[in-house]
Amino acid sequence: MSPAKSSPAAIPDTVANEFTSQAGNPDFVLSLARGLRVIESFEGHRDGRTTIEISQSTGLSRASIRRILLTLELLGYVERRRQVHWLKTQVLRLGFSYLSSSSVVEAARPVLEHITEQLHESSSMSMLDGGQIVYVVRSAASRVLAAGLSVGSRLPAYCTSMGRVLLAALPDEELAAYLRDLKPRAYTPKTLTRISQIKKAILQARKDGYAVVDEELESGLRSIAVPVSTRGNRSVAAINIGTHISRVDRATLMHRCLPALQEGARTLRNILI
Protein backbone atom coordinates (compact mmCIF):
# COMPACT_ATOMS: atom_id res chain seq x y z
CA MET A 1 0.00 0.00 0.00
CA SER A 2 2.93 2.29 -0.53
CA PRO A 3 2.51 5.45 -2.57
CA ALA A 4 3.58 5.72 -6.15
CA LYS A 5 7.29 6.33 -6.51
CA SER A 6 8.83 8.89 -8.81
CA SER A 7 10.48 7.45 -11.88
CA PRO A 8 14.29 7.30 -11.62
CA ALA A 9 14.67 9.62 -14.60
CA ALA A 10 12.58 12.35 -12.98
CA ILE A 11 14.35 12.52 -9.64
CA PRO A 12 17.74 13.98 -10.70
CA ASP A 13 16.00 16.90 -12.44
CA THR A 14 14.03 17.61 -9.27
CA VAL A 15 17.15 17.51 -7.15
CA ALA A 16 19.05 19.72 -9.57
CA ASN A 17 16.24 22.24 -9.61
CA GLU A 18 16.11 22.36 -5.81
CA PHE A 19 19.85 22.98 -5.55
CA THR A 20 19.92 25.43 -8.46
CA SER A 21 17.11 27.47 -6.93
CA GLN A 22 19.37 28.19 -3.96
CA ALA A 23 22.32 29.31 -6.07
CA GLY A 24 23.73 32.55 -4.73
CA ASN A 25 22.23 32.10 -1.27
CA PRO A 26 25.23 32.48 1.07
CA ASP A 27 23.36 30.79 3.92
CA PHE A 28 22.53 27.62 1.97
CA VAL A 29 24.74 24.69 3.05
CA LEU A 30 25.02 22.54 -0.07
CA SER A 31 26.84 19.66 1.63
CA LEU A 32 24.09 19.35 4.24
CA ALA A 33 21.42 19.38 1.53
CA ARG A 34 23.24 16.61 -0.30
CA GLY A 35 23.59 14.55 2.87
CA LEU A 36 19.89 14.82 3.62
CA ARG A 37 19.08 13.87 0.03
CA VAL A 38 21.17 10.71 0.40
CA ILE A 39 19.32 9.76 3.60
CA GLU A 40 15.96 10.33 1.89
CA SER A 41 17.01 8.11 -1.02
CA PHE A 42 16.83 5.02 1.21
CA GLU A 43 13.04 5.33 1.55
CA GLY A 44 11.30 2.14 0.44
CA HIS A 45 14.55 0.20 -0.10
CA ARG A 46 14.61 -2.49 2.59
CA ASP A 47 17.46 -4.39 0.94
CA GLY A 48 19.81 -1.43 1.15
CA ARG A 49 21.33 0.60 -1.68
CA THR A 50 24.61 0.75 -3.53
CA THR A 51 26.53 3.90 -4.34
CA ILE A 52 25.53 3.60 -8.00
CA GLU A 53 21.83 3.29 -7.14
CA ILE A 54 21.93 6.31 -4.84
CA SER A 55 23.75 8.31 -7.48
CA GLN A 56 21.14 7.41 -10.10
CA SER A 57 18.22 8.40 -7.88
CA THR A 58 19.70 11.61 -6.49
CA GLY A 59 21.66 12.95 -9.46
CA LEU A 60 24.77 13.36 -7.27
CA SER A 61 28.19 12.12 -8.36
CA ARG A 62 29.47 8.79 -7.07
CA ALA A 63 32.44 10.56 -5.47
CA SER A 64 30.09 12.82 -3.50
CA ILE A 65 27.93 9.85 -2.51
CA ARG A 66 30.96 7.92 -1.23
CA ARG A 67 32.11 10.83 0.96
CA ILE A 68 28.60 11.39 2.34
CA LEU A 69 28.10 7.68 3.07
CA LEU A 70 31.47 7.46 4.82
CA THR A 71 30.58 10.46 6.98
CA LEU A 72 27.18 8.98 7.85
CA GLU A 73 28.85 5.65 8.63
CA LEU A 74 31.35 7.27 10.98
CA LEU A 75 28.47 9.11 12.72
CA GLY A 76 26.50 5.87 13.16
CA TYR A 77 23.68 6.64 10.74
CA VAL A 78 24.68 4.13 8.06
CA GLU A 79 26.21 0.66 7.97
CA ARG A 80 27.91 -1.06 5.02
CA ARG A 81 28.20 -4.68 4.00
CA ARG A 82 30.46 -4.98 0.98
CA GLN A 83 28.93 -2.67 -1.64
CA VAL A 84 25.49 -2.27 -0.02
CA HIS A 85 24.54 0.39 2.54
CA TRP A 86 21.67 0.45 5.05
CA LEU A 87 20.36 3.10 7.38
CA LYS A 88 20.84 2.30 11.07
CA THR A 89 18.35 2.96 13.86
CA GLN A 90 20.41 6.01 14.83
CA VAL A 91 18.66 7.88 11.99
CA LEU A 92 15.38 7.58 13.90
CA ARG A 93 16.71 10.23 16.28
CA LEU A 94 16.23 12.80 13.53
CA GLY A 95 12.52 12.02 13.30
CA PHE A 96 12.05 11.70 17.04
CA SER A 97 13.61 15.11 17.51
CA TYR A 98 10.72 16.56 15.54
CA LEU A 99 8.06 14.43 17.21
CA SER A 100 9.26 15.32 20.69
CA SER A 101 9.43 19.03 19.88
CA SER A 102 6.06 19.40 18.13
CA SER A 103 3.25 20.73 20.32
CA VAL A 104 0.70 19.36 17.82
CA VAL A 105 2.09 15.83 18.09
CA GLU A 106 2.38 15.91 21.87
CA ALA A 107 -1.18 17.18 22.24
CA ALA A 108 -2.58 14.66 19.75
CA ARG A 109 -1.40 11.47 21.44
CA PRO A 110 -3.93 11.40 24.32
CA VAL A 111 -6.69 12.69 22.04
CA LEU A 112 -6.19 9.85 19.55
CA GLU A 113 -5.89 7.29 22.33
CA HIS A 114 -9.23 8.48 23.70
CA ILE A 115 -10.85 8.18 20.25
CA THR A 116 -9.49 4.65 19.79
CA GLU A 117 -10.66 3.61 23.25
CA GLN A 118 -14.09 5.11 22.63
CA LEU A 119 -14.67 3.62 19.16
CA HIS A 120 -12.37 0.57 19.20
CA GLU A 121 -10.98 1.67 15.84
CA SER A 122 -7.52 2.88 14.81
CA SER A 123 -7.01 6.63 14.64
CA SER A 124 -4.14 8.67 13.24
CA MET A 125 -2.82 12.15 12.67
CA SER A 126 -0.96 13.22 9.55
CA MET A 127 0.53 16.33 7.99
CA LEU A 128 0.85 17.32 4.36
CA ASP A 129 4.28 17.08 2.77
CA GLY A 130 4.13 17.96 -0.91
CA GLY A 131 1.73 15.54 -2.54
CA GLN A 132 1.83 13.05 0.32
CA ILE A 133 0.56 12.78 3.86
CA VAL A 134 2.99 11.75 6.58
CA TYR A 135 1.75 9.92 9.67
CA VAL A 136 3.01 11.70 12.79
CA VAL A 137 0.86 10.04 15.47
CA ARG A 138 -0.99 6.74 15.40
CA SER A 139 -3.21 4.96 17.92
CA ALA A 140 -3.85 1.44 16.67
CA ALA A 141 -6.76 -0.73 17.75
CA SER A 142 -6.08 -4.42 18.32
CA ARG A 143 -7.62 -5.19 14.92
CA VAL A 144 -5.64 -3.31 12.30
CA LEU A 145 -6.59 -3.51 8.64
CA ALA A 146 -3.77 -1.67 6.91
CA ALA A 147 -0.54 -3.50 7.67
CA GLY A 148 2.66 -1.51 7.86
CA LEU A 149 1.14 1.87 8.76
CA SER A 150 3.16 3.56 11.47
CA VAL A 151 4.63 6.93 12.36
CA GLY A 152 6.60 8.11 9.34
CA SER A 153 4.50 6.22 6.80
CA ARG A 154 3.66 8.17 3.66
CA LEU A 155 0.58 7.87 1.50
CA PRO A 156 -0.70 9.82 -1.51
CA ALA A 157 -2.88 12.74 -0.51
CA TYR A 158 -5.40 12.62 -3.35
CA CYS A 159 -6.94 9.24 -2.44
CA THR A 160 -6.84 9.36 1.37
CA SER A 161 -9.32 10.99 3.72
CA MET A 162 -6.68 12.95 5.63
CA GLY A 163 -5.06 13.99 2.38
CA ARG A 164 -8.27 15.42 1.03
CA VAL A 165 -9.05 17.57 4.06
CA LEU A 166 -5.47 18.83 4.07
CA LEU A 167 -5.60 19.62 0.35
CA ALA A 168 -8.95 21.33 0.93
CA ALA A 169 -7.23 23.73 3.33
CA LEU A 170 -4.73 24.90 0.72
CA PRO A 171 -5.17 28.32 -0.91
CA ASP A 172 -6.82 28.06 -4.33
CA GLU A 173 -3.61 28.78 -6.24
CA GLU A 174 -1.66 26.09 -4.36
CA LEU A 175 -4.43 23.56 -4.88
CA ALA A 176 -4.53 24.41 -8.59
CA ALA A 177 -0.76 23.89 -8.86
CA TYR A 178 -1.02 20.55 -7.04
CA LEU A 179 -3.77 19.31 -9.37
CA ARG A 180 -1.91 20.55 -12.43
CA ASP A 181 1.15 18.45 -11.57
CA LEU A 182 -0.75 15.44 -10.22
CA LYS A 183 -0.40 12.12 -12.02
CA PRO A 184 -2.88 9.88 -10.19
CA ARG A 185 -2.83 6.10 -10.34
CA ALA A 186 -5.51 3.56 -9.46
CA TYR A 187 -4.74 1.62 -6.29
CA THR A 188 -8.12 -0.13 -6.45
CA PRO A 189 -11.00 -0.13 -8.96
CA LYS A 190 -12.61 2.61 -6.84
CA THR A 191 -9.70 5.06 -6.85
CA LEU A 192 -10.61 8.43 -8.35
CA THR A 193 -8.10 9.08 -11.12
CA ARG A 194 -9.66 11.86 -13.18
CA ILE A 195 -8.44 15.30 -12.09
CA SER A 196 -11.98 16.69 -12.29
CA GLN A 197 -13.24 13.97 -9.94
CA ILE A 198 -10.40 14.51 -7.47
CA LYS A 199 -10.93 18.27 -7.48
CA LYS A 200 -14.65 17.80 -6.87
CA ALA A 201 -13.95 15.49 -3.91
CA ILE A 202 -11.46 17.96 -2.40
CA LEU A 203 -13.85 20.88 -2.78
CA GLN A 204 -16.62 18.79 -1.21
CA ALA A 205 -14.31 18.12 1.75
CA ARG A 206 -13.71 21.87 2.03
CA LYS A 207 -17.46 22.50 2.09
CA ASP A 208 -18.32 19.67 4.50
CA GLY A 209 -15.38 20.03 6.87
CA TYR A 210 -14.60 16.32 6.61
CA ALA A 211 -13.78 13.67 4.00
CA VAL A 212 -14.85 10.06 3.61
CA VAL A 213 -12.88 7.67 1.40
CA ASP A 214 -14.18 4.20 0.57
CA GLU A 215 -11.74 1.61 -0.74
CA GLU A 216 -9.77 4.03 -2.91
CA LEU A 217 -6.40 3.21 -1.39
CA GLU A 218 -6.99 -0.35 -0.24
CA SER A 219 -9.88 -2.74 -0.83
CA GLY A 220 -12.03 -3.02 2.29
CA LEU A 221 -10.64 0.14 3.90
CA ARG A 222 -13.04 2.92 4.82
CA SER A 223 -11.84 6.09 6.52
CA ILE A 224 -13.10 9.48 7.62
CA ALA A 225 -11.00 12.52 8.50
CA VAL A 226 -11.34 16.08 9.78
CA PRO A 227 -8.83 18.94 9.77
CA VAL A 228 -7.01 20.10 12.89
CA SER A 229 -6.76 23.89 13.10
CA THR A 230 -5.18 26.37 15.45
CA ARG A 231 -7.21 29.10 17.17
CA GLY A 232 -6.03 31.31 14.34
CA ASN A 233 -7.87 29.05 11.85
CA ARG A 234 -4.69 27.67 10.33
CA SER A 235 -4.98 23.99 9.38
CA VAL A 236 -1.88 22.19 10.60
CA ALA A 237 -2.86 18.53 10.46
CA ALA A 238 -5.70 16.06 10.01
CA ILE A 239 -6.99 13.21 12.17
CA ASN A 240 -8.87 10.17 10.95
CA ILE A 241 -10.43 6.85 11.79
CA GLY A 242 -9.76 3.85 9.59
CA THR A 243 -11.99 0.79 9.63
CA HIS A 244 -13.22 -2.13 7.54
CA ILE A 245 -16.34 -1.67 5.42
CA SER A 246 -17.82 -4.90 6.82
CA ARG A 247 -17.51 -3.61 10.38
CA VAL A 248 -18.64 0.00 10.13
CA ASP A 249 -21.22 1.19 7.60
CA ARG A 250 -21.47 4.76 6.29
CA ALA A 251 -24.30 5.65 8.67
CA THR A 252 -22.28 4.59 11.71
CA LEU A 253 -19.26 6.40 10.34
CA MET A 254 -21.23 9.63 10.10
CA HIS A 255 -23.25 9.40 13.32
CA ARG A 256 -20.65 7.91 15.66
CA CYS A 257 -17.15 8.30 14.26
CA LEU A 258 -17.44 11.81 12.81
CA PRO A 259 -18.61 13.42 16.10
CA ALA A 260 -15.72 11.75 17.95
CA LEU A 261 -13.22 13.16 15.46
CA GLN A 262 -14.79 16.61 15.56
CA GLU A 263 -14.63 16.61 19.36
CA GLY A 264 -10.97 15.61 19.16
CA ALA A 265 -10.25 18.40 16.68
CA ARG A 266 -11.97 20.93 18.97
CA THR A 267 -9.90 19.75 21.90
CA LEU A 268 -6.70 20.23 19.90
CA ARG A 269 -7.85 23.64 18.64
CA ASN A 270 -8.22 24.85 22.24
CA ILE A 271 -4.66 23.73 22.98
CA LEU A 272 -2.90 25.01 19.88
CA ILE A 273 -2.00 28.66 19.35
Can you give the CATH number for the domain in which 123 is found?
A: 3.30.450.40
- Given 57, 91, 125, the domain boundary residue is 91
- The whole-number pLDDT of residue 45 equals 82
Please give the tally of structural domains in the chain. Answer: 2
The answer to whether residues 108 and 226 belong to one domain is yes
Residues 6+ apart with CB under 8 A from 117: none
Residue 149 forms part of a structural domain:
yes
Q: Are 90 and 39 in contact (CB under 8 A)?
A: no
Q: Summarize pLDDT for 38-89 with one digit per residue, the tens.
A: 988 887 787 889 999 999 888 889 999 999 999 988 988 898 888 899 888 6
Do 80 and 109 share a domain, yes or no?
no
In a domain, 259, yes or no: yes
- Evaluate whether residue 208 is within a structural domain: yes
164 lies in the same domain as 215: yes
The whole-number pLDDT of residue 89 equals 67
Q: What is the CATH number of the domain that holds 26?
A: 1.10.10.10
Same domain, 86 and 108: no
For position 1, what pLDDT does the model report? Answer: 41
Low-confidence ranges of the chain (pLDDT < 70): 1-24, 89, 92-103, 142-148, 273
- Per-residue pLDDT tens digits for 144-166: 445 457 777 889 999 999 999 99
Quote the Cα angle for 203-208-216, to 5°. 65
What is the predicted pLDDT for the residue at 233?
84
Residue 73 domain-assigned (yes or no): yes
Q: Which domain holds residue 55?
A: 10-91
- Same domain, yes or no: 150 and 254: yes
Same domain, 250 and 115: yes
Rounded Cα distance between 77 and 36, Å, is 11
Do 112 and 83 share a structural domain?
Answer: no
What gap in Å lies between CA 23 and CA 71, rounded to an integer? Answer: 24
Q: Is 261 exposed, middle or buried (0-12, 13-18, 19+ CB in 10 A)?
A: buried
CA-wise closest residue to 32 among 110, 82, 94, 121? 94
In this structure, the answer to whether residues 75 and 183 fall within a common structural domain is no
Three-class DSSP category at 193:
coil
Q: Is residue 33 part of a domain?
A: yes
**DSSP letter string, 77-89:** SEEEETTEEEE-G
Identify whether residues 207 and 235 lie together within a single domain: yes
Looking at residue 253, what DSSP letter applies? I
Looking at 62, 91, 120, the residue that finishes a domain is 91
Q: Which residue type is seen at 41?
A: S
Please check whether residues 45 and 176 belong to one and the same domain. Answer: no
Q: What's the whole-model pTM score?
A: 0.66
Q: 84 and 121 in one domain?
A: no
Please indicate, yes or no, if residue 86 is contained in any of the structural domains: yes
135 close to 161: Cβ distance less than 8 angstroms: no
Q: How far is CA 99 from the centre of its chain?
A: 14
> Of 91, 118, 137, which closes a domain?
91
Residue 2 within any structural domain of the chain: no
193 and 71 assigned to the same domain: no
